[in-house]
Amino acid sequence: MRLKLVKILLVLALVGNIVVWHRIWRLFAAPSVSLTATPAASTVETSQKVHRGLARSVTIVIRQFETFENDVSATVESVMTAFPLIPILIICDQLPYPPLELDFKNNTMRYVKLINLQLNFNKSFDERNPLFFIRTKFVLFLPDATRLSTKQVLQSMIIQASKLGAVSVPVGANPLSCIGMALRVKEWSLEMSNIDGSTCDSIIGRHGTMIEARTLRKLSDPFILPFTDAFYIQTTALGAKVHIMNDHHFNEGKPLFRSHQAQWKVEQLSRSREREMFEKLGIKKVTRVSGSVEWYGCSRETPRCFGSVVNGIPSYLYQNRYTPPCCLTGLRRVAHHVFDKLEEVGIRFWIEGDSLLGAMRNGDILPWGHQVDVGLNRDDIMRSPWLARARNKPVTDNQGFIWEKATEGEFFKVQYSKTNHLHVNLLPFYSENGTMMKDAWFLKNKDFPEQFLHPMSSIEFAGRQVPCPNNIRDFLEIKYYKGVIENPEVPGKLFPD
């Protein structure tokens, strides 16, 4: 009996030890299991939060690529691999053919959209407007054949763009060049120059640019080609700068345009797009970094670079702009030719009206001037064979300038060419009782005392010395009003000087 009791006690003790040791094992084992399982779950959750945060912050835009050779599909796939939730817009001027190798019907492509800017009766304006699909605070423009490296680059760009407004990161190892741009909208001109530092108006070299969406919406036409050239001209007009982040970079994708034929094709497209861009943006004079000047307006072989002049007001004044620089250059050339021809035959002449006013103010044609006015002595007209012949019909001289009698009054015009009608007005005056008079009304030129021409003086005008009345201030105030030199009126008073 006693032996049986001892056995029972031993069994109970053994069971109790097993229970105690099991509890101890669970006590120490539980934290161990928790410590190994929690970080993995936390990492997945954190990663998803990062992707969702980036997707709410940034829209990626691929704007410029060539339909005949591109790396758009691989570029998109690289973005989706790194950032599966981020919205991507592919913008084109017409549907690419051959089509892009992207299956837009696949559910994995639900955040990728191809936007065709071309007019389509089956698409509303909003459906063709990329801005309609941008719901994020920032937009990242990626060039074709780019690979995103790490999320840290994107996060750093967001931080810097929040402070600076617009930032750029190089694609590949090649350094970027910082360009300054002097954009003078009223004068239709753009001047580029190399500048030091990392704060630029424009950037040369392959790069991606992040900008705030609210700034993008302020641009006149943010998606016109060539991109990013047109983009930076428009941000310059807003006074916005872009900042290069040299401590980061994107990776390069597939090399493109390696054949001579492809390179030639891209070069031709680049030239035509650039010309169309300058025409759309209203830029007619471009000074390159090298100092060379290119004209994108009228020439002697094209019509003048503005429309009809109604009531003395050229059409460009309604655009809140001054005379296009190519027109001013053409006017100077016609004026120099006329001065030479009048001097050759001894005709007494002087600069008149607005031209004299421009000479007094800045030694040149007024910024809004569209013609040059020259007074001459009517008694000398027959000294010029061109004026003598022009009394009956228009005549072309040996340098291609057109001499003709005006249809709107008793005066003559000398035009740049048969095509380009930029012109100099030749206004005949004659002396009567001490006053220089005219046969009929023309333009805004009034009679004036003959004493202003005895003796005549000279003044700098359009790059040379030309004859002028001897008391210019009094002469102009007779023609116009008191204080006209200091306070000239722009025709139509569309905007202040």
Residues 286 and 325: their CA atoms lie apart, in Å, by 10
Which residue's entry shows tokens 């892009």?
A: 100
166: left (phi over 0), alpha (psi -120 to 50) or beta: beta
Q: Which amino acid is residue 56, in one-letter code?
A: R
- Do 233 and 336 sit in the same domain of this protein? no
What pLDDT score does 42 carry?
A: 53
Q: Examine residue 45 and state whether it is found in any structural domain, yes or no.
A: no
- Do 231 and 368 sit in the same domain of this protein? no
Q: Examine residue 282 and state whether it is found in any structural domain, yes or no.
A: no
Q: Where does a domain end: 231, 252, 273?
A: 252
What pLDDT score does 2 carry?
A: 54
Which of the residue ranges 45-54, 297-306, 461-470 would you say has the lowest mean pLDDT? 45-54
Backbone angles phi, psi at 58, to 5 degrees: -130, 135
Highest mean pLDDT among 47-56, 146-155, 185-194, 308-317: 185-194
Q: Examine residue 286 and state whether it is found in any structural domain, yes or no.
A: no
- Do 323 and 177 sit in the same domain of this protein? no
Residues 136 and 489: their CA atoms lie apart, in Å, by 47
- Do 242 and 322 sit in the same domain of this protein? no
Q: Examine residue 37 and state whether it is found in any structural domain, yes or no.
A: no
Residues 449 and 431: their CA atoms lie apart, in Å, by 9
> Mean pLDDT, the chain, as a whole number?
89
Residues 353 and 373: their CA atoms lie apart, in Å, by 6
Q: Examine residue 415 and state whether it is found in any structural domain, yes or no.
A: yes
Do residues 211 and 161 touch, judged by C-beta distance below 8 A?
Answer: yes
Residues 179 and 457: their CA atoms lie apart, in Å, by 46
- Do 377 and 474 sit in the same domain of this protein? yes
- More reliable by pLDDT, 46 or 247: 247
- Do 183 and 69 sit in the same domain of this protein? yes
- Do 361 and 243 sit in the same domain of this protein? no
Do residues 115 and 91 touch, judged by C-beta distance below 8 A?
Answer: yes
CB atoms < 10 A from the CB of 36, how many? 9
Tally the residues of the chain.
497
Mean pLDDT of 275-290: 95
Q: Give tens-digit pLDDT for 463-484.
A: 999 999 999 999 999 999 999 9
Q: Examine residue 49 and state whether it is found in any structural domain, yes or no.
A: no
Q: Which residue, among 440, 439, 442, has the nearest Cα to 371 in the 3D structure? A: 442
What pLDDT score does 24 carry?
A: 37
What pLDDT score does 148 carry?
A: 85
- Do 356 and 425 sit in the same domain of this protein? yes
Q: Examine residue 285 and state whether it is found in any structural domain, yes or no.
A: no
DSSP, res 96: -
- More reliable by pLDDT, 118 or 303: 118
Q: State the residue range of the domain holding 169.
A: 55-252
Confidence bin at 298 (pLDDT 50/70/90) = confident
Q: Which residue, among 84, 216, 68, 197, has the nearest Cα to 138 in the 3D structure? A: 216
For 58-108, where are the alpha helices, taking DSSP H only?
A: 72-82
> Exposed/middle/buried for 225, CB within 10 Å: 0-12, 13-18, 19+?
buried
- More reliable by pLDDT, 25 or 272: 272
Positive or negative, the CA dihedral 358, 364, 367, 368 is: positive
Percent share of the chain, pLDDT over 70: 87
Q: Give tens-digit pLDDT for 255-271.
A: 999 999 999 999 999 99
- Do 233 and 335 sit in the same domain of this protein? no
Q: Where does a domain end: 235, 252, 269?
A: 252
Q: Examine residue 32 and state whether it is found in any structural domain, yes or no.
A: no
What pLDDT score does 308 carry?
A: 79
Residues 426 and 415: their CA atoms lie apart, in Å, by 11
Do residues 266 and 66 touch, judged by C-beta distance below 8 A?
Answer: yes
Which of the residue ranges 20-24, 360-364, 418-422, 427-431 would you say has the lowest mean pLDDT? 20-24
Neighbouring residues of 134: CB distance < 8 A, sequence distance ≥ 6? 59, 89, 213, 216
Q: How many domains, in total, are found in the chain? A: 2
Q: Where does a domain end: 252, 275, 296?
A: 252
- Do 90 and 170 sit in the same domain of this protein? yes
CATH code at position 76: 3.90.550.10
- Do 336 and 457 sit in the same domain of this protein? yes
Residues 163 and 192: their CA atoms lie apart, in Å, by 26
Do residues 233 and 296 touch, judged by C-beta distance below 8 A?
Answer: no
- Do 246 and 103 sit in the same domain of this protein? yes
CATH code at position 468: 3.30.460
Tell me the angle at which helices 260-281 and 229-238 cross, rounded to the nearest 10 degrees.
Answer: 30
